[in-house]
Every structure is written in structure tokens, then in C-alpha cells.
Structure 1
């Protein structure tokens, strides 16, 4: 061993390891929109979704300025392996429009709505809301079958199903989609319709966000009168069983023009209905003949006279936004749902008893009357899971205080469990909560339909890039053909 002389220069220190360069400047340079990172101005605002219980920290929120921004973001997610969430309106109760530590592709700026009043078609961007479409169509006396809260994103709603006040008259939102512009996982842009990409078109209508980023949807629109005959018949707790039995008999043969949704909740103070739970039979008539509508509603009054009511023609925009204030942005939300084929005595007893136990504000449940145009669509026309359901129960929470989390989620779970023995088994992805995604595909879709959806997934997204959803996993070695442009 040779000693180093005392006057020899010291060996150079090892260089301090440098962090790798950030990949986000290159991503920002590849798009015309903006990339918002943690710590930057506005990040805390753009990362949030409607459900206040979903409070996560994405690695980046990419706010697309147009459809051409989508492919570079998908390429970035594939290259980095970061999980990807696609957000339209951000109203999904499960919080699928955001992801912790991943990339959020925010389509919120794609809100253009174009109406062709002659052809009765409406084309909406992937970030449009129900309110955007209603504002655009109302001046022409037209409406698209959508949901019931105007802040809901059209893309997520329509791809999952779309249940609302026109369901019995004109079907679900998926039944009224004429075409979709889609960016696939590999960045390819395709147009899907009954004539082009028919298998993809089938899967999009009920399969949710599993198959690509939908940048625009074209819908069929329907004529509506300037004032829609609508309202609520209200029953107090002592009348719940009687009113439900009457509704069961009455709803068996009401015309398709009438869609009804029964709501059980403690009303907010501004409704001026007191502090006890109520049963409100809400209805909307999708036709010009108000006398015929009144006659139908009178038949229910004859069977079970309401304790109170508010029935009058209303502008469609007013009716569509009537419950918006009940579900403000940031609500803490937890939902469960299932379909039913009848309102038998046991099920009625469960609904009435649980409704009376609901002595607080912050939870509720709706019973949607299905059938009509919804039920006349054949099971295989779309990928929506169930077409023979007569009723659909949605149990929902909408509270603000985290201290209520355990109690209110418990109420939702317990009611769902008590109702389950009477259920028809249908599950609707748009009403499924955050703890449902892993089980969604096998619990929502039938065997043959699930196999077909999985094969489609293999064709268009074999690596499951679009997995931040109620996921349909890719499978099937022989997927259907999807042509890429």
C-alpha cells in the first residue's frame, strides 16, 4: 500500500445526484391547453371534483383546449405509466374524474353546443353540462333526454346511461346518441355511429368511459312545449305505505309521456315543507296536452290524496334545475342503487320504515319509474345492462360535515342491504359509489354482454389505460375489428 503524500491534491468529491428533469414542460409544449401542477396558482381549485369526500392530489391537471390536446396527454400517460383520469363535468359520485398521483385530463373547456333545429340534432363537446345543452335547445322548443341536475357533465352521464325526466317518453341519454367523436388509447381519432365503428358505438352506450376519450357527442333532440306540465304530490310520514301502494297500482298503465320520480327526504328549509321526512311524487309530462296530463295525475289523487302539492306548468330550464341547490359542489356523497321489477308489500314496508327513520337532512332516496320508451329498447341494442326493470332505486347522501360520514354512509348501506332481497339485480354505473368500481363489471353486465364488452376493450385499450372508472378489463384473444384512421 502506498501512502498518499501530504501535499497531494485531494480526490474530487463525487457529484451530487441531480433529480431528473421534469417531464411536464414538454407536455405543456405539446398542447394548446394548460398543465397545472401542485403548488401552482389554481391547482387546489382545478383538482377538486363535486364529491367532497374525494380529496386527492393529482400529479398534474391538464386542461385541454380542444380535441387535439387529447392524444398528447394519452401518449404522456402511456410513456410515464402514471394513472389517468378523464374528467368531463367532474360530477361522478365515485370521483372517477380525478386520481391521486396521476394525470387528470380535464375536458371542461370543450363546452360548445350546436343545435340543428331542422334535423333535431344536438352536438355537444365532451366537457358540456346538462345546463349547457338545455340552454342551447330551449329556444328551439327542443330537449335532449338527460339527467336531473344541470351541473352534471354530459359525457359521463350519457356514456353510463342517462336517467331523467324524459326517460319514459324518449328513453335514456344513450338511446338518443347518434354518434361520438372518440380518441382511442393509442391516440387515434375515430367517429363512432351505427354505420361507422358500430361495435365501438354499441360499447360506448352504457359501457362508460372504458373505451376512449369522447370529445363530442351528437344526440337526437325531441320537441317540448314552452311550459311542461309538472309538479310534486307530497305525502307525510303517516301516509307513506298508502301512497306507495296507490302509486304501484297507478303506475302500471300511465302513458309514456309521463315520467315520475318519487323522492324520500327531509326537505331543505327553503322548500317550506317542515322538518319531517316527506314522500314527493315528482312528475313531468312530455307533451302538449296538459288536460290529458292532469287527468292522469288526478287518477293518483283519487287513489291517495296528497297532503300538499305544487302542480303547474313550468319552463323546462326551471324544472331541470329545480334540485340543483340540493347538491352543491363539494357535497360529501355516497350512493348505492339497484333495479326492481315490482313494488311488493315487503319492499314497500322497507321503504316506508326507512324513510320515516330519516330524521336528518343529508340523505335521501329516489324511486324512478322506468318502462315506456326505456323498456322498448331491446337488450342488445346498447350495452346498458337492464331493460326490463320497472323501477330503479337510488339511495344517496349529500351532506357537508365530515362528522356525519359514518352515520350517513351507514344509512345508505343499510337501506341497500334491506332492499336487496326484493331487487331485480340491475346496477347502474352512474349511481355507483366509490367502493363499487372493482366489482362493477361482473355486477352490472350480464355474462354475454360482459364478454362482448371485454372483447371490445381488448381491441381498443388492451393495456387498460382507461381504468379509472367502473372498469371493464380487457380480455378475449379475438377482439372485434376497430378501424383506425
Structure 2
């Protein structure tokens, strides 16, 4: 049933939206329309906002029409790709929502290892299009995630050590700015804009198309999960730290703490899981590395062997379905000594419910070789990124589980390094936006991003994001 619109009519805005409807290839959905409640829904069920209108784009030309309408009416604008923003920025209250989700085409130039992606495509769309060519674009770890937001913020996943972030593999982007300019951004054309797109989020325009450099997949990707019961976590983390010290970059590990979903049939107790993907050509070398970890920390349960890449990438999709309620925090750090392990295991042991995960992404490798100033991503030197992520179904748990993430984050602050990863950040109300962005990016990167904002979006049309606030004229 459509939501009843309780807002007072505004003839000027209503007329502008009727005019917008006549210029669209796609459809404009208002609160009285039967599809409205479905159209306004985003992944994070904690976000319950009511746009004045939703535009489901039918072509990239609809971007221009919507930006004109937003400028003319003054309505707040939200831009949605996959709709997976944990902070809920892919919708807006009483504003105009541009939903690019229908634009999901993926074109693969296998000979040149280039993949061009429309802005509504998901990680799964890209994986399914590329795997048949023996290629993969370095993306995230959940197939439902939108490629656009993932890339503009960073893109940490199963290929980060071997190939870097998603944004490190971006060759170029087609951008529509707040003023309606159509710009090609790459290292050669509009290079400063290209720098800001890679980590600065959606602050500078709507990206109508992404072109990535894909990597070749080996004939058989080796995937594994080693499972450990709580009483062993401190020793296992110590072994993990030693194992990662000289790890070849073809090995991509993530250590997680969570109560596993029921289909794993492993009970309701929390587990530590060391997952890893080896993407080297020599599979035996990957097996030898797995054996080194097994010898140092024999798992209580394990699964190891060749994996189908699409299935591996989408294995967690059912754990975080659309409508899950979520709040995340993140910390970058490089120490994994006894003091840090005590703190990590301390709060990880408190997770006795299904609905919160704690992930430790081991970085380094190709990720760390990119100079920090080369992109707007805030920290290349940290050895680990911690993500505390919630995905619970019950609204009654909102306060408790949000507070857990905040408290775990606070307990890690003595070991934290500079910067925060915006894709792992929930929305914080009542905070100064300028200061929040400065803390996320650091003063030097933030200053450079503000200069870009002043150039490409001086009136802050694109503000539904971890916002870079332009300086007043």
C-alpha cells in the first residue's frame, strides 16, 4: 500500500515534478503511487525516509533531468546506486531521490581486460558478467552491494591484498556535475576530479559509468574457512599475526567473529573464522600457506578447496538481506600484540547473538603500495582494518546493538591510526559535518577535497553522503 502523503501541497514543486515526468525515459513515483513504499526502501531497515518523489532512471539521460529539477526546486537530492549505504544516504526525507538501480549493464572487453559498469550495477552483476571470461574486478564481499558507492568510498574485499581497492582498479569514470557538465575523469583527463572520486564518495557529481581494469583469475581459485571456538581465540589471533607477517599478496585473509547463521549448522555459540582466498596461479603454494596456518592454529572445523568465484563472492548475501537493520564502525590499526588481542577478544566474546559481526581485514600487498596521496582513501599504512557491523532484524535491538558497535570502537581507540573508511561508517546525527569529514580523511586530504567541492559543487547539491562541505563564497 502506498504511503499517504501528509505534506501540504506546493504548486511550484508539484508543477516542476509534473514537468520532470514528461522528460524522463524512466518513471517518477510519488507517495500516492502503489510502488512508492517499495521504491523508497533501502537496504538498512533503520532508515525510514519519505522522498517527495522517486525517479527510477530509464537511461543515463534521466540524470540530467533530475539534476535540473533539483536545482530548480531546491529539493534535497539523494542518489542511489545499489542502495546499500549503511548510513542510509541513498534516500532522503521530503526530497528528490534519483534511483539508478535499473541501470545495471556490464560490458566486458576481455582482450583488454576492461569492464564498463552502469551506476546501478551490483557486485554480483559484475562477477557474473566477468567470470566467464576468466576475469574479476576487485570488489567487496557481498554480492548485493552497489558498485558505485563501494568504489567511490574505497572497495575492500577478497582481492584487496592481491589487487588493491576497487577504486585502485578504476581506469576512468563518466561524471555529470551539479552544473550539468558531462566530464570524463581519468589520470589523463580531469585528473584532480579523478583523484577525488576515488575515496571522496558521491560529493562531486553523479557517476554515469565506471570503467575498471580487471584481473585475470587463475584456473581455480582456492578458498578456505578455518573455524575456532571462543576459548582459543587469543592463541589463534597470535598465530594469525605471525602468519600474516610475510604473507604473499596473492593470499587475501579476513578474520571474523560472529554467531554463524543457522544454515551453517554450527550451533548458537560464537566462532572465530579465518577466511582466505588464494588467487595465485600455483594452487599448491596456497595450500602450503593454509597448512602453515593449520599447523600453527589447528582449526576446530574447516572447509578448503577450489571455489566458484561467484558463489564465493555471494556466500554472505543471505546473511544480510535487504531490510536488515544496521550500524557500523571501523578502526585502522597495525598492532596485533597481546594488549590489542586482549581488547579485541574482550568485546568479540560479548557477541553471543546472531546479528553482529566483527571483521579484521589484513591489508598490505597491492593496497599498501599505492601512495597515500594518489587517491582520497585516508590510510594506506595500517596493517589491519577492523569493521564492527550490525545486521539485526528486530527494531527492539537498535539501541543495544548500536551502542555495542560504538563501545567496541571506543575500546579500540588507544590503538587506532589516522583516518576512517567512509563505507564502514554509519550516520551520526548531531555532529558537525565538516569536523566529521576532517576526522575521516585527515586534514590534508580533507583540504584538497574541499577545494574540489568548491569547484564542482559549490552549493552542495550532493550532500547526502559523508559530506565535504564547501567553503562559503
Name which of structure 1's ranges 188-197 and 159-168 shifts more when overlaid on structure 2: 188-197
CA shift at 1:286, angstroms?
1.2
Give TM-score, length-normalised by structure 1.
0.93
Aligned residue in 2 for 1:468? 464
Aligned residue in 2 for 1:46? 39
Distance in 2, matches of 1:126 and 1:365, equals: 29
Distance in 2, matches of 1:423 and 1:64, equals: 41
Distance in 1, matches of 2:351 and 2:269, equals: 8
Aligned residue in 2 for 1:312? 305
Aligned residue in 2 for 1:101? 94
Q: Deviations over 1:82-119 (max 9, x none)?
A: 10000000001000000011110010111110000100
Distance in 2, matches of 1:458 and 1:476, equals: 9
Matches within 5 A, 1:93-172: 93-172=86-165
Structure 2 counterpart of 1:384, from 362, 377, 380: 377
CA shift at 1:475, angstroms?
2.9
Structure 2 counterpart of 1:447, from 427, 443, 446: 443
Aligned residue in 2 for 1:20? 11
Aligned residue in 2 for 1:189? 182
Distance in 2, matches of 1:440 and 1:256, equals: 33
CA shift at 1:412, angstroms?
0.9
**Would the aligned equivalents of 1:84 and 1:103 in 2 still touch at CA under 8 Å?**
yes
**Would the aligned equivalents of 1:226 and 1:315 in 2 still touch at CA under 8 Å?**
no
CA shift at 1:476, angstroms?
8.5
Matches within 5 A, 1:26-65: 26-65=19-58
Secondary structure of 1:232's counterpart equals: strand
**Would the aligned equivalents of 1:110 and 1:215 in 2 still touch at CA under 8 Å?**
no
**Would the aligned equivalents of 2:418 and 2:442 in 1 still touch at CA under 8 Å?**
no
**Would the aligned equivalents of 1:263 and 1:367 in 2 still touch at CA under 8 Å?**
yes
**Would the aligned equivalents of 1:365 and 1:395 in 2 still touch at CA under 8 Å?**
yes
**Would the aligned equivalents of 1:62 and 1:106 in 2 still touch at CA under 8 Å?**
yes
Q: Is 2:278 aligned against 1:282? A: no
**Would the aligned equivalents of 1:178 and 1:193 in 2 still touch at CA under 8 Å?**
yes
Q: Deviations over 1:211-246 (max 9, x none)?
A: 000010000000112431011011100000000011
**Would the aligned equivalents of 1:121 and 1:218 in 2 still touch at CA under 8 Å?**
yes
Distance in 2, matches of 1:122 and 1:226, equals: 20
CA shift at 1:19, angstroms?
6.4
Name which of structure 1's ranges 440-449 and 307-316 shifts more when overlaid on structure 2: 440-449
Structure 1 counterpart of 2:172, from 168, 174, 179: 179
Matches within 5 A, 1:261-300: 261-300=254-293
Name which of structure 1's ranges 44-53 and 439-448 shifts more when overlaid on structure 2: 439-448
Structure 1 counterpart of 2:401, from 398, 401, 408: 408
Distance in 2, matches of 1:373 and 1:273, equals: 35
Distance in 1, matches of 2:51 and 2:111, equals: 44
Where do 5+ consecutive residues of structure 2 fail to align? 1-8
Structure 1 counterpart of 2:83, from 77, 90, 101: 90
**Would the aligned equivalents of 1:87 and 1:108 in 2 still touch at CA under 8 Å?**
yes
Distance in 1, matches of 2:208 and 2:413, equals: 37
Where do 5+ consecutive residues of structure 1 fail to align? 1-17, 478-485
CA shift at 1:348, angstroms?
0.6
Distance in 1, matches of 2:155 and 2:10, equals: 47
CA shift at 1:299, angstroms?
1.2
CA shift at 1:37, angstroms?
0.3
**Would the aligned equivalents of 2:378 and 2:418 in 1 still touch at CA under 8 Å?**
no
Q: Is 2:206 aligned against 1:210? A: no
CA shift at 1:53, angstroms?
0.2
Distance in 2, matches of 1:422 and 1:379, equals: 20
Distance in 2, matches of 1:396 and 1:267, equals: 14
**Would the aligned equivalents of 2:114 and 2:214 in 1 still touch at CA under 8 Å?**
yes
Aligned residue in 2 for 1:329? 322
CA shift at 1:63, angstroms?
1.0
Distance in 2, matches of 1:27 and 1:209, equals: 23
CA shift at 1:410, angstroms?
1.5
Secondary structure of 2:209's counterpart equals: strand
**Would the aligned equivalents of 2:138 and 2:169 in 1 still touch at CA under 8 Å?**
yes
CA shift at 1:288, angstroms?
2.1
Matches within 5 A, 1:329-368: 329-368=322-361
Distance in 2, matches of 1:355 and 1:385, equals: 26
Q: Once superposed, which parts of structure 1, at least 4 consecutive aligned residues long, lie more than 3 Å away?
A: none
Give TM-score, length-normalised by structure 2.
0.95
Count of residues in correspondence between the two structures: 460
Distance in 1, matches of 2:167 and 2:10, equals: 48
**Would the aligned equivalents of 1:146 and 1:165 in 2 still touch at CA under 8 Å?**
yes
CA shift at 1:47, angstroms?
0.2
Distance in 2, matches of 1:19 and 1:177, equals: 42
Q: Deviations over 1:426-459 (max 9, x none)?
A: 3000000011783531111122211111001110
Which has the higher Rg, Structure 1 or Structure 2? 1
Aligned residue in 1 for 2:5? none
CA shift at 1:302, angstroms?
1.6
